[in-house]
Structure 1
Amino acid sequence: MAGSDTAAPAVPAPDAVKILIAGGFGVGKTTMVGSVSEIAPLRTEEPLTAAGLDVDDLDGIEDKKATTVALDFGRITIGDDLVLYLFGTPGQQRFWFMWNDLALGALGAVVLVDVRRPRTSFAAIDFFERRGIPFVVGVNGFHGEHPYPPEEIREALSLPADVPVLLCDARERASCRDVLIALVDRRIAAAGRVP
């Protein structure tokens, strides 16, 4: 039959999920989003200036030259039916007001931790605990080093046993992907629990 219209079967669109990448100033959030994103990440980095010297704590990160002032954005496809949209939060306290807006609709979060400066992680942990947003902890191994095992980090951060603590390297795509998958697995497991 000439001119017949046969439509291909509709392929369902993948589920799109919003994930936050959070943590203190200089823990590797921008690096993580950039290393795992399958698209060129959107970055809102600006150079550090002398005006911020009295405000920004550069202890342990003296070589840092730029900082995120709004957000980082990236995307990673986990499977045919799941796409993660990644939103990296700014780390400096003066930009924390943006976290509330960024957290709207988030399925969960990754809290990146720098064991050289663990105190920078407490604000992000508190933020997600208070709002009931599930999270996992990614311990970013700067220079490829992980001097402490996950259980020691859990204890130092006073994390409950159900919060996964994973060693990672924010520069390595596979490492970051594994942290994101752990978060998705945590959410799937929680959804399957009977109250």
Structure 2
Amino acid sequence: MDSADNSAPEPRYLASTVDQALKILVVGAFGVGKTTLVGSVSEIDPLRTEETITQASSGVDDLSGLTTKTSTTVAMDFGRITLNSRMVLYLFGAPGQRRFWDLWEGLVIGAIGLLVLVDTRRLEDSFEILDQLDLRGLPFAVAINYFPDSVRYDDADLRDALDLLPETPLVHLDARSHDSSTQALIALVEYAARLKAQEKVA
């Protein structure tokens, strides 16, 4: 993918017709594109808590394959996207490094689910992230974020490598693209709604 669609709406006030607000946590390993995704879909200027990567992180943060990365999220990213006239999503991007995982405990409160970004160039970095989600018991969808030099795998191979349940949504996106990132969020919302409906029936 050589280019991305950056046609996110202009910042605006929340429509008076909105009566459903949902919280989603965007998670993933270091450098998978969480900040980029929140920025590409947010209809307001996203809140970012990024700091420059310094020599102090040498040996702590693995920058292999991330030669252009110069900053990292240290608390959270925040954005908002209105899906339709009645529903708005509040997006919280969580830092990916292990030393910041304690922050997830607060960020996850009230979330309906989590969108997990995965970089196939560093697939193994996602294993511990997914293990953390199993402990939280919230619905999640997996989004494969493609970079110019990404390795592409069949969905069946990805599901096997990531040990995903058959019903777990698996989508593909370019985090720079408003449209493909929005579709990934919609897939998560629809999945969480289905699970909630099943719980009510049970």
TM-score by length of 1: 0.91
Is the 1:150–1:167 Cα contact (8 Å) retained in structure 2? no
Partner of 1:35: 40
Report % sequence identity: 50
> SS at 2:83's partner residue?
strand
Partner of 2:177: 172
Partner of 2:83: 78
**Aligned partners of 1:51 and 1:179: how far apart in 2?**
35
> Per-residue CA shift, 1:75-106, capped at 9, x if unaligned?
00011111000000001111111011111111
- Structure 1: 5+ residue runs without aligned partners? 1-10
Partner of 2:53: 48
The structure that has the greater radius of gyration is 1
Partner of 2:137: 132
Is the 1:25–1:92 Cα contact (8 Å) retained in structure 2? yes
Taking a change above 3 Å as real, the CA distance of residues 13 and 164 of structure 1, as seen in their structure-2 partners, is closer
Superposed displacement of residue 145, structure 1: 5.1
- Structure 2: 5+ residue runs without aligned partners? 1-15
> SS at 2:164's partner residue?
coil
Give the superposed CA RMSD: 1.4
Q: What is the count of residue pairs matched by the alignment?
A: 185
Superposed displacement of residue 143, structure 1: 1.9
**Aligned partners of 2:63 and 2:175: how far apart in 1?**
19
Partner of 1:88: 93
Superposed displacement of residue 127, structure 1: 1.7
Taking a change above 3 Å as real, the CA distance of residues 144 and 62 of structure 1, as seen in their structure-2 partners, is closer
> Per-residue CA shift, 1:20-57, capped at 9, x if unaligned?
00000000000000001111100011100001112111
